[in-house]
Amino acid sequence: MHSSDGRPREARGARLDDPWYDALASGWGESDDTAAPESTPPVVGDVYLEVQRSAAFRDVRSRYRRFVVPAVAVFLSWYVAYVVAATAAPELMARPVAGAVNVAMVAGLGQFLTTFLFTWAYARHARLRRDRAALELRWETQELARVTQGGAS
């Protein structure tokens, strides 16, 4: 049997031109504990853990949660109410509102409207209450990470 390039396939073993074979043969992916330094330099990951424990980070997260948790609860309640009403009270949903438009159509369009309304409210809340604090936190984190990486080299 031949491969796609016309050369015979080997029954066993890796081909010599296989890049994964070369990587594994060179010890790639294996840990080498013999060259571990005596004292470990500061790690960039520690900067992120420090920032995560900071009051500024907790403030940004709490502002996010104070908006998102109630908004999700309201939206899911509205959606579940729509689905339950459509299933449990079809005569209510079939009641005409104006001409051929019935309650189900109005409620369904209301779902779209509230989706856009919540998206607008979320973007406004983020812009007014979180973005500036999050951006300042991000710049501080990047500066700390840069200093840590600079000190490690």
pLDDT tens track for 42-54: 677 788 888 888 8
CA–CA separation, 126 and 120 (whole Å): 10
Other Cβ atoms closer than 10 A to 33: 5
pLDDT tens digit string along 56-111?
899 999 999 999 999 999 999 999 999 999 999 999 999 999 988 999 999 999 99
The whole model's pTM is what? 0.61
CB-side neighbour CA atoms (13 Å) of 46: 8
Q: Taking 80 as the threshold, does the pLDDT of residue 37 lie above it?
A: no
**Is 119's pLDDT higher than 90?**
yes
Confidence at 10, pLDDT banded by 50, 70, 90: low
